[in-house]
Amino acid sequence: MSRAVLRREPDDRIEVLGPDGSVVAPDLVPDLDEETLVSIYRDMRFCRRFDERMISLQRQGRMGTYSSLAGQEGSQIGSTYALADDDLIAYQYREHGAVAGRGMPWEYLLYWMGHEHGNAVLADVDVFPLNITIGDHLPHVVGWAWAAKLAGDERVGVAHFGDGATSEGDFHEALNFAGVFDVPNVFFCNNNQWAISVPRDRQTASATLAQKATAYGFEGVQVDGMDPLATYAVTKAAREKALRPNDDERRPTLIEAVQYRFGAHTTADDPSVYRREEEVEEWKRKDPIVRFESFLRERDLLDDDRIEAMEAKIEETLTTLVERAEGYEADPSEMFGHTYEEPTARLVEQRDYLRRLRETYGDDALLERE
């Protein structure tokens, strides 16, 4: 089935579940056990609640600027479940679901609270540090995949990015290199229709983003990104293709997951300025959580009691994550590290000045002094 999934025209959008949760492509339904299906739903529901909680923390001044994932749970969780636990994930900044699918260490929240330590711990779950600059991580994950291929390491490098990143030079350079050297990459484009306030149709004159893969010599496929089963099936097929034993068949893949972000680009954005509420409501009728819940209820895998117990556990987990993150005591001197291999005289002077202030006034008094 995996080869058939990818053997489509780039504008032939793959869908397993209809908006109401009914199966529209029985031959593409992944062979997943009941426990895994429920786990996918639980993680999607966790992501939605995580999103709401993080936005609330930001509004209270307890967290920095945050990028909402609401509406994109299906693509993030579905694609991550299709990977091996040690496949490498490189993400942009909205794919919190990819981190959740890897267990989400509590330190992840630290990054959004201003502590770089929250980025470093992601290496423990085979996730590249968060990338803010649009598209810059794409050449890096291709380099990692090329090294993995040369070393005979049977792992895949998966790069998440948005539709806006396809307008960046790094996108072209990364995919061109991947195509020339047949590296084990899966390029996962989260086309959520808007790059901040710029609509998808202003990014490119191409009919689809998936078809851009043709220029680099490998396959592109378009999938319903709000359908977790479809994104699972497509990602699994792409992973298998990247690791085929025959070198002539081992190829990267570009996946365009068509979806929508329900909220603002970030907590610093006001989407009402550039898009209509009617458009948002139209896409919400395809809510990935609602449609997948309908699918599971139809198979007696979910009911109100199970969902209530699931929600209670999610709240407990979120409370623990927030409490641990807010209880973290940062060392301000860390801001002077990792800028240069050896600190410059100017950095040493600034670091020593801060140390003297802390010794004289203490951290709390220093904040009041500011």
DSSP structure string for 144-160: HHHHHHHTT----EEEE
Structure tokens at 36: 């895994």
Q: Give catalytic status of residue 3 as yes or no.
A: no
Among 287, 236, 343, 177, smallest CA distance to 14 is for 236
140 is catalytic: no
Q: What's the DSSP call for residue 338?
A: S
CB 126 within 8 A of CB 89: yes
Residues in CB range of 103: below 8 A, 6 or more apart: 125
How far apart CA 313 and CA 307 sit, in angstroms, is 10
If DSSP codes are grouped into helix, strand and coil, which group holds residue 194? Answer: strand
Q: Among positive and negative, which fits the CA dihedral 337, 342, 345, 348?
A: positive
Q: Nearest to residue 37, comparing CAs of 55, 57, 16, 58?
A: 16
Structure tokens at 175: 């995919």
Amino acid (one-letter) located at 203? Q
Q: Is 137 a catalytic residue?
A: no
Angle at 86 between CA 83 and CA 88, to 5 degrees: 75
Strand partners for 179: none
Kindly name the residue from 45, 137, 251, 265 that is annotated as catalytic.
265
For residue 265, what is the DSSP state? S
Q: Which of 59, 117, 274, 353 is catalytic?
A: 274
Burial code (b: 16+ CB inside 10 Å, e: under 16) for 281-297 equals eebeebbbbebbbbbbe
- Are 243 and 235 spatial neighbours (Cβ–Cβ below 8 Å)? no
Name the strand (E) or helix (H) holding 257. Answer: strand 253-258
Among all residues, which ones are annotated catalytic? 261, 265, 274
